[in-house]
Amino acid sequence: MLAMLAAALSVHAQSISLSVDTIHHPAFDAEGIRVDINPFDHGIGDIFIKRLRSSSTEVHDLHLHCDGFRLSDNHIECPQGLLHSGKQPPIKLSFSYVFSSRVLNFTLRDVDLAHLQTLGSGILPYGASGRADLTLVAGSNHADLKLVLRGVAFNSPDGNHAGDGIAAQLTAVADRHGDGWAWQARLEWPQGELYWAPWYRKAGIRGEASGTLNSRTLDISLFRLTLDKVGSVTAALNWDRLLGKPMRWGFVTDEIDLSSAVDEWVQPWLDQLAIPKLHASGHTRLSGEWADGRLQSFFVGLENATLADGNGYLEFSAINASVPWLWNADTRAEIAVGAGRWGELPLGGFNIPATLHGDNVRMQDVSIPLLDGRLYVDRFHATRPEADWRWNFSGGIEAVSLPKISAALKIPPLSGTLTARVPDATYERSIFSLGGAMVIDVFDGRITARNLQVIEPMSRRQRFLANVEMRRLDLGMLTRTFSFGSITGRLDGEVKSLELQGWKPLSFDARFASSPGDYPRTISRGALQDISAIGGAAGAAAVKASPVSFFNTFGYDRIGIGCKLKDKVCTLEGIEPDGKGYVLVKGSGIPAVKMIGYNRNIDWNLLVTRIQAVIAGKSKAVIE
Amino acid sequence: MRNLAITLWLFAAAAFAQQGNLDVDSPAITQLKSSMAERHRALEPYYNSGVVGLARDGTVALRDPATVPLAQRQAVSKLVATENEDRAALYREITRINGNPAWETDIRATFAQRWIDRAPAGWWVQSATGAWQKK
């Protein structure tokens, strides 16, 4: 509506001056307007506007100089205008306005966005630069818009939102709809790069949208976005223009490439959480709905997908999953895994039925085939009472034969069966704790692990803590398995404060010694050689035997060794001190043997190398 | 400049140990020190240019990433996130080996202040009011 609250027309010797207090239009308000026309100078006109305001922008003290200016009782026209603001270079524009039909035709040609920026705050976000063409034809009931951007760059103050070299085109048409507008728009972004923390994208996006706009809300009822190499997503949004925030939004994707989606969209987000890299392939479908200040629902579907951790240690393949979630109701998720791999151990196919409800995830009776046995979960419950997730479960490992495990791991064949029960494992404050004990019956004895914990299990820095106890392992079976000479007897062991990272020990305090009790105790010449070889060529171990040269097997009373690992150095000890050394093997009967170690400290990696060499049969030690 | 990181660490650790009978030595902490010292070589140019600063909560922060090319911002952001993960793990590990999770806030504050005190001239650090200033 055009309102002339006060107008004054004055005619001087060479010009006409028209003043208008206010102009109201659905798209803008203008105040303090003065139009100076020089009728003797072929249509020269100057328009001064004290304040020009749209819904998001307000500018002051504008001066528009027009060549070919026309003003009649029905229209105003400026075919070649230069808009001045302060000392900045002028902006080229043209416009016309028909009072009767209220049709505005406005054009900006090759405008420098940096100059546009200087007109006033809120015109462009983040200090944008680049060039643009704008054509707007806006009437009372219909509007057309075309915006072409070239070489656009911008940077938010915190650097989290930035673009560079962007070329894009936006076209839109709108028609009057009640007290607002119904519109359709099309976006093409063929060139440039965009960083919207934590995501980065190089062009290749096209979009079409439609919706309504009024003074209160922007409603995007349908927004179809296609991303090259990823796929398409359809979204909707309701934006409160007065509050400046979304009221609700939602999206649903087509079938999209999981590998590209993870690399481009999921991994940057995981990186911010310092979660290790995730490899994925296959296809996925996603949807989500947000309203009332929170996520209301989502759906994740996986089709023939493969997921693996960055190190390739854990992998699941042939995954087909349907995971619906609602904030305020129970949903049932079905996840089917065709096969998997845990390190070198193959996993069979399995199903995970889960119940979801808000910040609660429950599973029960999950059975994962592992060689000839299984891993199983009787019960699992995850919840998030505060900011962090907590979960607990009970389950275990059942009847996996150690020969099959050792074959899969390509280690010397072990005998026995691996069965372990986890009665109550918990995860809280970044620590995963296995309640109870894990028991493995092996080498005709028993290995028990207690106080098992995984620190920061979701990080690349996860650590494993435990106390391990070994009782009455058959030394004959043990030494045959590892080709470590030949020792008959029984072995007890304690590994206290074991701490592993990446399955390599950081520290422990370990002692191994012959078990108490009455049983045959012999040690072969080969075993003595192997123990000596582990001590190293520096004569770490001295063997006293009498008469050693004529016998291949010796009796012993006790054998034992201790290693306290810290800072990659193992501090060694035996079953008792002997002068400056320590006794590793204390003989008994005839022929008697005694082995004494003198090397107190040994580099852990060197020790491991020597043990591996001994097992491989490469030791050079000689007993004279 | 790996030595610089280790020196900063030693000052922080020593200062912290002076606060009381606290254990700041464990295999995991040794690993974390090594990891942080290694990463320091990648972070140092960003400290020097002011892209990354030392925050008052014991973390490092992307203070002014605008000067980093767009294609590299993800990498810098990941570098900062990984460094902060190690720092958080460090503070948690100290509380863990000392058996007192409630100390984490104090531990963070002590380390933060020492790291800021010992930062070289030209680095950006965050004051108690939250404002960034160049040393």
For the segment A62-97, what is each residue's pLDDT rounded down to a tens digit? 898 998 888 788 888 889 999 887 777 888 899 999
| Full residue range of the structural domain in which residue A75 is found | 1-108
Give the pLDDT confidence score for residue A571 in this predicted structure: 93
A228-236 average pLDDT score: 92
Structural domains of chain A, count: 3
Per the CB < 8 Å rule, is A272 touching B65?
no
A243-257 average pLDDT score: 94
**Pair A129, A68 in one domain:** no
Sequence spans of domains, chain B: 2-134
**Pair A131, A60 in one domain:** no
**Pair A186, A77 in one domain:** no
Which residues of B fall within a CB distance of 8 Å from A162?
A: 66, 70, 73
**Pair A198, A240 in one domain:** yes
Confidence category of residue A617, pLDDT binned at 50, 70, 90: low
What percentage of chain A has pLDDT greater than the value 70?
Answer: 91
pLDDT digits 0-9 by tens, A556-567:
999 999 999 988
Dist CA B36 CA B61 (whole Å)? 15
Reduced to 3 states (helix: H, G, I; strand: E, B; else coil), residue A618 is coil
Give the pLDDT confidence score for residue B13 in this predicted structure: 56
Dist CA A497 CA A566 (whole Å)? 11
| Distance from chain centroid for Cα B80 | 10
Q: Where is the domain boundary, A254, A279, A314?
A: A254
User: Which of A157, A159, A274 is the closest to B62 by Cβ?
Assistant: A159
Residues of B near A (Cβ–Cβ under 8 Å) read 26-28, 30-32, 35, 62, 64-66, 68, 70-71, 73-74, 77-78, 81-82, 84-86, 89, 92-93, 96, 101
Which residues of A fall within a CB distance of 8 Å from B82?
A: 274
**Pair A489, A603 in one domain:** yes
Q: Where is the domain boundary, A254, A281, A305?
A: A254
Give the pLDDT confidence score for residue A543 in this predicted structure: 58
Reduced to 3 states (helix: H, G, I; strand: E, B; else coil), residue A517 is coil
pLDDT digits 0-9 by tens, A333-388:
999 999 999 888 999 999 999 999 999 999 999 999 999 999 999 999 999 888 78
Which residues of B fall within a CB distance of 8 Å from A459?
A: 85, 89
pLDDT digits 0-9 by tens, A279-288:
999 999 999 9
DSSP A623: -
Please list, in sequence order, all residues whose beta carbon lies within 8 angstroms of the beta carbon of residue A360, skipping any fewer than 6 positions away: A381, A382, A383
Is residue A514 over pLDDT 90? Answer: yes
Which residue of chain A has the CA closest to B34? Answer: A567
Per the CB < 8 Å rule, is B78 touching A271?
yes
**Pair A205, A179 in one domain:** yes
pLDDT digits 0-9 by tens, A306-323:
999 877 788 999 999 999
A102-124 average pLDDT score: 80
Is residue A171 over pLDDT 80? Answer: yes
- What are the φ and ψ backbone dihedral angles of A171, each rounded to 5 degrees? -120, 145
Alpha helices in A77-178 (DSSP H): 113-117
**Pair A611, A483 in one domain:** yes
Confidence category of residue A9, pLDDT binned at 50, 70, 90: very low
Mean pLDDT, all residues of chain A: 86
Burial class (CB in 10 A: 0-12, 13-18, 19+), A595: buried
Q: Where is the domain boundary, A221, A254, A287?
A: A254
Q: Are B88 and B105 in contact (CB under 8 A)?
A: no
Which residues of A fall within a CB distance of 8 Å from B66?
A: 155-157, 159, 162
Is residue A226 over pLDDT 60? Answer: yes
A526 interface with B at CB cutoff 8 Å: no
The answer to whether residue A205 sits within a structural domain is: yes
Dist CA A380 CA A387 (whole Å)? 20
Per the CB < 8 Å rule, is A274 touching B85?
yes
CA distance B121 to chain A (A): 23
Confidence category of residue A548, pLDDT binned at 50, 70, 90: low
pLDDT lower than 70: segments of chain B: 1-24
Two tokens at B20? 């009381």
Confidence category of residue A463, pLDDT binned at 50, 70, 90: confident
Per the CB < 8 Å rule, is B70 touching A163?
yes
A426-452 average pLDDT score: 86
The answer to whether residue A183 sits within a structural domain is: yes
Is residue A11 over pLDDT 80? Answer: no
Q: Are B117 and B107 in contact (CB under 8 A)?
A: no
The CA–CA distances, whole Å, from B98 to B12, B23, B102 equal 17, 6, 10
Confidence category of residue A542, pLDDT binned at 50, 70, 90: low
Chosen from A200, A430, A496, A566 to mutate, greatest number of chain B CBs within 10 A: A200
Give the pLDDT confidence score for residue A244 in this predicted structure: 87
The answer to whether residue A51 sits within a structural domain is: yes
Give the pLDDT confidence score for residue A56 in this predicted structure: 66
pLDDT digits 0-9 by tens, A432-443:
998 878 888 888
**Pair A134, A246 in one domain:** yes
Two tokens at A564? 């306290």
A159 interface with B at CB cutoff 8 Å: yes
pLDDT digits 0-9 by tens, A116-161:
776 665 667 778 899 999 999 999 899 999 999 999 999 888 788 8
User: Which of B66, B81, B96 is the closest to A155 by Cβ?
Assistant: B66
Give the pLDDT confidence score for residue A539 in this predicted structure: 44
Give the pLDDT confidence score for residue A538 in this predicted structure: 44
Two tokens at A546? 């009498």
User: Which of A162, A268, A506 is the closest to B28 by Cβ?
Assistant: A506
pLDDT digits 0-9 by tens, A181-200:
999 999 999 999 999 988 99
A451-469 average pLDDT score: 86
Two tokens at A13? 């010797």
Give the pLDDT confidence score for residue A178 in this predicted structure: 87
Q: Which residues of A608-617 are buried (b: 16+ CB within 10 A; e: fewer)?
A: eebbeebbee
Is residue A547 over pLDDT 60? Answer: no
The answer to whether residue A411 sits within a structural domain is: no
Confidence category of residue A299, pLDDT binned at 50, 70, 90: very high
Dist CA A175 CA A158 (whole Å)? 38
Give the pLDDT confidence score for residue A35 in this predicted structure: 84
pLDDT digits 0-9 by tens, A13-53:
467 888 888 988 766 788 999 988 875 556 788 889 888 88
Give the pLDDT confidence score for residue A435 in this predicted structure: 80
Give the pLDDT confidence score for residue A156 in this predicted structure: 86
**Pair A85, A158 in one domain:** no
**Pair A508, A605 in one domain:** yes
Give the pLDDT confidence score for residue A545 in this predicted structure: 53
